[in-house]
């Protein structure tokens, strides 16, 4: 079977096109979905892409989290469908309470764009199973509201239950508590992170590596992991 | 027209990068009266007609569910002003 992975476009989404391209490169069929619809078009997995939905008004991702299609996203997530939130999509997932914690303005108040080193802290989620536990990867980061916060108690719970999916390595670019770059839900089907795997899936357009400039493809395993999860669920 | 004012503040125990930046600016300007600055949000909800108990209850609900995110913010007041 060919997995069908939906990418939801919201008003102000920017990286929906790149996400669809990344999905195709990884070997699945990308399906364009619209925020104002109540139809997931029978997709097997979902990506909420980056951007600045509703101009980041109210709070980043807050208005989009109440979009019509989010009712179906919540239902699908509850049934175990793999859902990935990237950057603004991650902000939507925390605002929709599908993931724990919150995201606030970067500690240094600046927008930041850099190729960011991350450590995969949980390689058993629907979006990380093609990584090795503890593997270090480099994918682009670009945001203004990327500071991950939660209460000390909640942070201890996330650490204890293995819900921290990714941690910043070398540099903490935005003041995120405990260097947290991404988290997962208890079931492991919903994952969100601030950095952008979809921008590291095609030679010529990814981060620099020791081998060649812009050759980084560390984003690919996110999508192949989800494809594997979908195929396993169908088997 | 009656207006319901909702004030939302970042949780006291969490970081407020914007407030911190303003506090730094004040210090650089030589203003040393203030130990800290925190920045919140004020929402003004205008009401067509009377502010009934139901309207006020709806405003409180909206303040909790949409205008604020309880993970990172507190609703500090919901008040009717004429």
Q: In CATH, what number is assigned to the domain containing residue A205? A: 3.40.50.880
Per-residue exposure over A16-31, b if at least 16 CB sit within 10 Å of its own CB, e if not: bebbbbbbebbebebb
Distance separating alpha carbons of residues A195 and A201, to the nearest angstrom: 13
Q: Give residue A205's pLDDT.
A: 94
pLDDT (tens digit, 0 to 9) for every residue of chain A, 235 residues total? 899 999 999 999 999 999 999 999 999 999 999 999 999 999 999 999 999 999 999 999 999 999 999 999 999 999 999 999 999 999 999 999 999 999 999 988 889 999 999 999 999 999 999 999 999 999 999 999 999 999 999 999 999 999 999 999 999 999 999 999 999 999 999 999 999 999 999 999 999 999 999 999 999 999 999 999 999 998 8
Of A58, A49, A59, the closest CA to residue A11 belongs to A49
pLDDT of residue A145: 93
Which residue of the set A95, A121, A198, A202 is catalytic? Answer: A198
Residue pairs spanning A and B at CB distance below 8 A: 38
Q: Is B18 on the interface with A (CB under 8 A)?
A: yes
Which of A104, A107, A148, A183 to mutate to test binding with chain B, by most B CBs within 10 Å of its CB?
Answer: A104
Tokens of A91: 């902000």
Query: A122: closest CA among A170, A178, A191?
Result: A191
Contact A147 B15 (CB under 8 A): yes
The predicted-structure confidence for B20-62, as pLDDT tens digits, reads as follows 999 999 999 999 999 899 999 999 999 999 999 999 999 999 9
**Is residue A113 within 8 angstroms of chain B, CB to CB?**
no
Tell me the whole-structure pTM to 2 decimals.
Answer: 0.94
Which domain range does residue A165 map to? 4-234
| ipTM for the whole complex | 0.86
B interface test, pick of A67, A96, A105, A148 with most B CB neighbours within 10 Å = A105
Q: Which of B14, B21, B69 sits opposite A59 (nearest CB)?
A: B69
Q: Is B13 on the interface with A (CB under 8 A)?
A: yes
Closest CB to A149: pick one of B15, B18, B21: B15
Cβ under 8 Å to A: B residues 27-56: none
Q: How many domains does chain A have?
A: 1
Is residue A198 part of the annotated active site? The answer reads: yes
- Parallel/antiparallel/unpaired status of strands A136-143 and A180-184: unpaired
- Beta strands (DSSP E) in A43-178 are 45-48, 83-86, 102-104, 112-120, 136-143, 147-149, 164-168
d(CA A88, CA A49): 7
Measured distance CA(A117)–CA(A137) in Å, rounded: 6
Closest residue to B17, CB basis, from A66, A94, A147: A147
Which residues of A42-96 form beta strands (DSSP E)?
45-48, 83-86
Q: Chain B contact for A149, CB < 8 A?
A: yes
Residue A72 in tokens? 């179906």
Q: Is the CB of residue B25 less than 8 Å away from at least one CB of chain A?
A: no
- Confidence band, pLDDT 50/70/90 cuts, at residue B82: confident
Locate the chain B residue with the closest alpha carbon to A99.
B71
The minimal CB distance from A102 to the residues B13, B21, B72 is found for B72
For residue A173, give both structure tokens.
């670019």
Please give the domain boundaries of chain B with CATH numbers for all domains.
Answer: 3-81 (3.30.1280.10)
Catalytic residue among A35, A95, A121, A196: A196
């Amino acid at each position: 079977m060919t997995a069908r992975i939906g990418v939801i476009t919201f008003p102000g989404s920017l990286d929906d096109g790149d996400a669809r391209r990344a999905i195709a490169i990884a070997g699945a069929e990308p399906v364009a979905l619209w925020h104002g619809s109540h139809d997931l078009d029978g997709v097997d997995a979902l990506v909420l892409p980056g951007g600045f939905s509703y101009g980041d008004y109210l709070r980043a991702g807050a208005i989009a989290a109440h979009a019509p299609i989010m009712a179906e996203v919540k239902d699908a997530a509850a049934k175990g469908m793999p859902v990935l939130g990237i950057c603004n999509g991650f902000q939507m997932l925390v605002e929709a309470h599908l993931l724990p914690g919150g995201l606030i303005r970067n500690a240094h108040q600046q927008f930041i764009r850099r190729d960011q080193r991350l450590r995969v802290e949980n390689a058993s989620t629907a979006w990380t199973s093609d990584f090795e536990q503890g593997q270090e990867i480099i994918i682009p980061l670009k945001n203004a509201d990327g500071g991950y916060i939660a209460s000390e108690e909640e942070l201890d719970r996330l650490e204890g239950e293995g819900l921290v999916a990714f941690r910043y390595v070398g540099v903490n670019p935005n003041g995120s508590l405990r260097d947290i770059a991404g988290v997962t839900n208890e079931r492991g089907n919903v994952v969100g992170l601030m950095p952008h795997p979809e921008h590291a899936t095609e030679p010529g357009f990814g981060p620099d590596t020791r081998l060649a400039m812009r050759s980084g493809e560390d984003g690919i395993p996110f999508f192949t992991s989800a494809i594997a999860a979908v195929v396993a669920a169908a088997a | 027209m009656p207006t319901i004012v909702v004030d939302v503040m970042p949780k006291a125990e969490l970081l407020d990068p914007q407030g911190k930046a303003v506090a730094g600016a004040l210090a650089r300007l030589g203003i040393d009266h203030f130990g800290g600055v925190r920045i919140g949000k004020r929402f003004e909800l205008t009401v067509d007609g009377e502010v009934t108990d139901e309207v006020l209850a709806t405003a409180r609900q909206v303040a909790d569910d949409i205008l604020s995110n309880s993970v990172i913010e507190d609703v500090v007041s919901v008040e009717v002003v004429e």
